[in-house]
Amino acid sequence: MRVFLIDAENVNIEFFIKSREFKKSDKFYIVVYNSLKFSIDVLKFLQDREFFVYEFKNPSENYADKIIFTILGYIMNDPKFSHFYIVSNDHIFVNLGFTERLFGKKVENIKFSNSTSLVATKSSFEPKKAEPNIDEIYKNNIEDIEILRQSYPKNDEFHNALVKLFGMDIGKNLYKISKNTTKDKNEIFYQKNRAKIDEILKQNNNLKDTHNALVKEFGEVGKELYNYLKNSKVFLKS
């Protein structure tokens, strides 16, 4: 049985689970700061697998690393586990040869390279596919990004929220893109949700009803979407 110990403090768990094939028998230990939220994709992935989440509320230097080492020492004595992987970018996990001397078992470190592609250290566990580029990440996650923008109106808070959700490198780049893409992001959002939006436009007879229907369907994003549609070529009934 394979066991994955994931440092969700510095590795984007959603990108990790989408990047390679997993077995139903794989077991996951996830160490995470308690303010981090899991996406629906992550929850769907985990619901059919055995997993444990270890959270901490007062972060300090190497806090997650200490938890991972504690878990590792405990589970390496379990004979049913045969393959061990630590998923983390922290340098401390690069040299894990001591586990062979102490337990007679190997532990491999899987880490993100620049937070966009996965590299296994001394491992044959190769990535299934390359990670999408930053523009694709932005387009595929625009709804979540806009929710963060509305939840954190201050630029520094918005920046930190993106970094926490997507990792340092990707979060910083998403912040740069989203700062000056109001028109573009609304166009992308419209195109991705065009069938539902067009149906709302058909069902409502005036601007006020249209505005309220968009807000009801899309929340705070609906307000900005309404202004975009009103000023674009998309027809709104007066």
Q: For each of the domains in the chain, give its residue range(s) and CATH number, in order of start.
A: 2-121 (3.40.50), 134-231 (no CATH)
Tokens coding 42: 């992550």
Give the pLDDT score at 84: 93
Considering the entire predicted model, what is its pTM?
Answer: 0.48
Residues 145 and 123: beta-carbon distance below 8 Å: no
**pLDDT above 90 coverage of the chain, percent:** 11
Cβ atoms < 10 Å from Cβ of 12? 22
Nearest CA to 200 among 220, 216, 214? 214
Quote the pLDDT of residue 51.
92
Asked if the model's pLDDT at residue 3 lies above 90, the reply is: yes
pLDDT for 205-219, tens place per residue? Answer: 788 888 899 888 888
Q: Please state, rounded to an integer, the average pLDDT across all residues of the chain.
A: 78
Q: 216 by DSSP, 3-state: which? A: helix
pLDDT in tens, 75-104: 888 888 889 999 988 888 877 878 877 788
Confidence band for 128, pLDDT divided at 50, 70 and 90: very low
| Locus of tokens 């390679």 | 20
Residue 32 has pLDDT above 90, yes or no: no
